[in-house]
Structure 1
Amino acid sequence: MSQTIDKKPRLKTSAMIASIAGEGQLTRSAPFGHALAELARTKTNVIGMTADLGKYTDLHLFAKEFPERYYQMGMAEQLLMGAAAGFAHEGAQPFVTTYAVFATRRAYDFIHQAIAEDNLDVKIVAALPGLTTGYGPSHQAAEDLALMRAMPNMTVIDPCDALEIEQMVPAIAAHNGPVYARLLRGNVPAVLDEYDYTFELGRAKLLRDGRDVLIISSGIMTMRALETAKALQADNVDVAVLHVPTIKPLDTETIIREAQRSGRLVVVAENHTVIGGLGEAVATTLLSAGVTPTYRQIGLPDAFLDAGALPTLHDRYGISTSVMASTIKGWLA
């Protein structure tokens, strides 16, 4: 019996959508790729390395301009990290890209032994951090910050938006030592431009003040925190937002100063499991300093997350603006 085959192209599922920009939100395209190419024009020892993901980490822009300084290692993340260590020993400054799950889970021991132990000048810039993909546990790096925080010599950064990524690239290049940075790729929201923001390695920044609630956040959750603060204004809830892009070393001085101001609920918001990330780092900092405000966490659960469309998943796991606002209002009631 003959069979008719449907030759229509398969539609992409909503789980493939990796952008976290809202409808109509201002974005900039590939800030990391452009910033790295700009850096490499004057810093001749910068090289770009990836494991079959140049296009999907925006490193293809660097490769187009500097093909002789671009290394495609194939689907071999352990080899990628070992080779980066070798280049660093010879005086190069490798910027290494892959997905965060592959860097932190698949190649962890190679980073630990080949890069971190020798305190080598390798910058690992990893895409799809936390819940920024709907592809399920195989691609959702919900525990990457906890893993990299635990590694000696490693600086850990969770940037918020396009502006911060653009500023982060030359800042980490100026820092001598290994860095793990989360990466937002493609069309990345532009959030911090209106706050006269400048990234400084190791420093937290108070983006807005407020008398009722202090949200301490990193990465995309700073965007969500700012949106939540604006949403709660309608209910006469005054929300401060402290952005903490550097998870390690932590700006303990600023965190303690802001958290010890009396009368405010302190909420840590992170796009990461509540185990071992910013929330636990802040809690340890405050308890060690004897600062004990009313304290809550917004983060991903200690669980394997579902696959699906990002807006649905962000609502389900409590990191969307609407759910954050509702949660905080409930805590204040």
Structure 2
Amino acid sequence: MTKDGNFKKVVRRHAKETGQRYTEALTDLEGLNDRIHHEPDGDRLLVHLRDRYGIDAVAATRLSVHKTYVFRIDRGDGAPWIARAFPPARPFSDVEGDAAVLRFLEQHDYPAERLAVDDAVSDFDGSAVLVTEFVEHTALPAGEGFAIMADLLGRLHALPFDESVSRPGGASGEDPSRMGTPRQDLLAGLAFLDAVDTKVGAADRERFEQLLEQVRSADDADGLPEGLLHGNLLHAPDHAVMGPNGPVAINWKASGRGPRLADLAFLLWGTGNWAPSRSTNEEHVNAVVTAYRKHVELTDEELDRLEAVMYIRPLYLVCIGYRRDLMNGVPFDEWWFIEPPEYIASTAAAARAAFRR
């Protein structure tokens, strides 16, 4: 079979596994780069913000090499803003959903970033732009980060249900076509792998197939108790910072209604010791559990499925990294996201024991 024929076979398989038509699956795989990568021009963004809001926007500073669409906007007439000019593939309605979540959180006095203006979403060269107030901040206090983030998650998951923030959430959403519940992370993972299937060499084929099967068979947390999720509350200072009045959760792109365990499982996954090999840090696990259960108690089913659900985001990270490195022609060396399996098993066991004390 030709290389083109092999890819067509992969597309047909992808369509079957994701419930898409062939043409949809083809677009899913071939359109990844255009959907994910977006580097808006900062100077043009300044002009847009001046025209839209009448502010004296004087400088746009890109804040991350990974999120190339996020800018700090310094102003000559007031405090700085944050402007997120999302990839054009992200629908305007999704960004309006971000704003709705932030309005809801402000109504409930939850410590999140605040919208810069009432009309905080605008169109800029086909991209939806969200503007929020810049949070003057420092890093979370050393040794307290996990407890602080767990408390933020517990408070979030305990908030009452509201139809205005009922959109599905919890998936990372780097691919705007795969936003929603944590299951979308697994479907995105399949797309990342299937997009490079025909580029995998014979020496790496067995491990690649094992990874595919891990993603296909992963527990997506469906059916578990739900809450309003942040979707990515692990990394400080990217998603949690210490503001003037205490901790603040930022970056709400992945937020929405979903299985609360997925949020907590990702935080627990991050508690371990990183070198020389991954190992469970019971002190960090206990700190997370103690802070979280001030607001929420997990059910027996959640505790039973914790180990399996802990794989969702790490699998996603392995898949996106595997595709990135293969496309760049470098060996992939981030298997530690999901290995050794003993680490995830022992961390889940420590969390279950802490919850049941």
TM-score norm. by structure 1 comes to: 0.30
Bigger helix share = 2
Q: TM-score, normalised by structure 2?
A: 0.29
